[in-house]
Structure 1
């Protein structure tokens, strides 16, 4: 998605107005790992690397996270793990409470200082184009999305949403990724030893916190996502530590 958008931004000469955002899930973010002596970066690192690789200066990439007021009155991270403890279950298809609270809402809130400043300078609501990478192939609900729509309009900001990759098929995405020297996160390859190929077709699309067999927003067959994810993680951790000498960092 970002490659498609950055091509347009360069063509229209507005790269300096582009910001990329990564919404951290705190402790549940996939970490970087060392496997067979090779370091594989975590999702936060990959997001920053990809932003730079697509031509955006590092100072225009931002990592944001949800915060709450701590016991001492200062702001502290509000991890997705806290949300899971509150709800008593992981996010799942039909109840993806993480999508808004831990991702979209966090990014939108981070725009507020910029919006406040620019509104004073412009004397009108600030126009923002929110670009996301959803595709029709990903789910039944996303198959009905509009490629361009207005999602918010008030006295401070007018936000439009553009989905440039909406019509891309999964096969087209894989073909593009395999042809470009842009790193993808290692979980898309099942685990690092399979980094020359993609995860088996049964593995669902994963977010920053979801193991390949599906712990978050899972569509795994049989609905045994949590059980399968836990089993996968234990097996992988044991293999990495005992067999290969790999370590989680």
Structure 2
């Protein structure tokens, strides 16, 4: 394993630790910098030794040092997911602008996914600045700003149209997340992301209904499916678009 890949994994663990703070605090509309991190159960300020990504969770056996309450499994999951994502982008594109763009994109997606799962909300403090950052970063890429702008309009526009047609079946956070995805993925890759998202969401909905875990009118967070589609398109957009093209082509 090369040194850049190892460093990417370490950086991912550290960034993932910060993303956990964002996931917890952004829906509460509090600062992600101050005050210092505390145990959600007893309020004890965590020491530096308790904040080492992943290792602290393992050493404390998933429990707060002060009160013994369990620490949510989401914390190591986010750190591992971020590390895996950073390793994947560096292994795919090597150190450079493309890997940095992808790492920023994955970080935003992780925050959006877990906030939607936990609260049913994708905060504007993620999607709006994230879209602006995406447009700015992609403007420096080889394709320039045009595909990013087209992707943003297509991603946000498609989900906005669906929200209007469905009468509330799609939330405003999903619409803005679609715009963010389009800014980073560009056109036509945003099409691949949306195709995978709707396919995954449809399959999951059918399974949940069949298992009686959800009723027909129960809300299902769509953000995680959009995130799954975005990750799939980030790495395999050409294959996805090619498959859909062959599937839709008249025989």
TM-score (norm 2): 0.26
Structure with the bigger RCO (C-alpha within 8 Å, sep 6+) is 1
- Pick the structure with more strand per residue: 1
